[in-house]
Amino acid sequence: MQFFLRRRYWPLIAIAAVFAVTVFLEWQVKTTPQPPLSAAAPQIPALAASQPSAPSSLEKSGPKQTPTTASQNASSNQGRSTEDQSPVVKTASTPETQSKAANNAANQEQKTADKHVLEIGIGAIVVGALQTAALFFTFWVMRKTAIRQLRAYVFVETCQFTRNPHSDTDPWEILLILKNFGQTPAANIRLKTERDIRLSIVPEMVLEFSKSAQTSNTLAIAPGHISTTRMPILSANSDLGAKRQAGEKIYVWAEIEYQDVFKIRRILKVQMVHDFGNVLELSFCEAGNGTDD
């Protein structure tokens, strides 16, 4: 349920809904029954009267026949006409046949027209779905651009190893200063920090929070403003030169969680180190730094 409530996923949900509607409409149009075609009209055969074949040119120019009697000629002509008769099939066209043929042609034209309408409808649905998806994608890009331009950006402005120069009894401390570099306020900021003095660690090591980590109260930073956190680490009479010769270093790691005006939670992680040198500012480690963007 939380997936659907997040605004960042609304464009994807809208595109999926348009695609589902398109598939449903296409399936509905395809499954719509078409009108059945009329059965083909039967043909009525008829036998036509046969005609005796005409004598060929060979028969006309053939050798002179011997005279025969009338009875022989009659019997010969009768036998020839019987042999020359062959059945001829003709189709009789009736008003009922013509009407069925016209109905078949009309049904075929209607089927072709329905097919064209179906293709045009599917094409229009696909084009509309693509246009809708492009519109939602444009809005999504515009929203992401507006968020990146207007959101709050909380980052470490500086982190120093220092103490009060006007007092010899004040302890050495870590001064962590956060600044909002964005255009809108950062609210509900929770800062979790931890510091330690130890021998040098490998560059790839990420320091984890222990039970001694400190968590600040919830605060807010306006655009362009800063928030300062002080963390005592050494007494005023500590021998910094001895610690440097021993290879010890100061490590500070922190996690800053805040909320921008778009109700999106942001997380920043930093890990810094100081080697007890003359430079007061801490430098970032190779590992342990990053954001959730």
Q: What is the pLDDT of residue 156?
A: 95
In one-letter notation, the amino acid at residue 76 is S
Residue 125 pLDDT > 70: yes
Where residue 120 falls among pLDDT bands split at 50, 70, 90? confident
Q: Provide the strand spans (E) within the chain.
A: 45-47, 89-91, 154-162, 172-180, 186-199, 214-215, 219-221, 226-234, 248-259, 265-274, 283-284, 290-291
Euclidean distance between CA atoms 165 and 173, whole angstroms: 12
Question: Where along the chain do its domains lie?
Answer: 2-32+93-150, 154-291
pLDDT at position 108 is: 78
Q: Are 48 and 90 in contact (CB under 8 A)?
A: yes
10 has pLDDT over 90 = no
* pLDDT tens by residue, 220-279: 999 999 999 999 988 888 888 899 999 999 999 999 999 999 999 999 999 999 999 888
Burial 28-54 (b: 16+ CB within 10 A, else e): eeeeeeeeeeeeebeeeeeeeeeeeee
- Tell me the pLDDT tens digit for each residue of 140-154: 899 888 888 999 999
Give me the pLDDT at residue 4, please.
47
**What does the mean pLDDT of the chain come to?**
79
Fold of 154-291: Immunoglobulin-like (2.60.40)
- Predicted pLDDT at 8: 62
Q: What angle do CA 149, 181, 137 make, to 5 degrees?
A: 20
177-225 tens-digit pLDDT = 999 999 999 999 999 999 999 999 999 999 999 999 999 999 999 999 9
Residue 58 has a pLDDT of 43
pLDDT tens, position by position, 39-98: 444 444 444 444 455 455 444 444 454 455 455 554 555 555 545 555 555 555 577 777
Q: In this structure, which amino acid lies at residue 181? A: F
pLDDT at 285: 96
Strand partners for 107: none
Structure tokens at 238: 């500590």
- pTM beyond 0.75: the answer is no
Q: Please, which residues bridge with residue 158 across strands?
A: 177
Q: Which residue has the higher pLDDT, 285 or 100?
A: 285
Comparison of pLDDT for 97 and 157, the residue scoring more: 157
Encoded tokens for 264 = 């999106």
pLDDT band at 29 (very low <50, low <70, confident <90, very high): low
pLDDT of residue 62: 47
Which pLDDT value is given to residue 284? 96
